[in-house]
Amino acid sequence: MKYYVYVLKSTMIEKHYVGFSTNVPRRLREHNAGKNRSTKPYRPYEILFIEAFDNKEGALSREKFLKSGQGREYIKKASWRNPPEADRLNTSPPMAGRI
């Protein structure tokens, strides 16, 4: 099983959200449907970045870093380029499959 750390960007304001999941398409749908209290006011979101990990511990460690002060600065300064799977998820119909 793969584990993913993802960064979402609000299309309404300059707001980012960092999350962890084994199913990023499902999580993006949940965020955009307002099922997460912390992201609901800033919908809709698009995927800015995805990183895949072979183990849960590695993914959780990366998520923790990206949520830290240093990680937030890294997100702001990074020259992000959507990986192909993020581009596909951002333009696919709501019932997109797994990555």
pLDDT reading at 99 higher than 60: no
| CA–CA separation, 5 and 46 (whole Å) | 14
- pTM to 2 decimal places: 0.81
CATH class of 3-91: alpha beta
Helix (H) or strand (E) holding 5: strand 3-10
The per-residue pLDDT for range 31-68, each reduced to its tens digit, is 999 999 999 999 999 999 999 999 999 999 999 999 99
| CA–CA separation, 79 and 4 (whole Å) | 20
| CA–CA separation, 73 and 75 (whole Å) | 5
Mean pLDDT across the chain: 87
5 contacts 63 by C-beta, under 8 angstroms: yes
Residue 69 is which amino acid? G
Tokens of 24: 């990023």
8 contacts 45 by C-beta, under 8 angstroms: yes
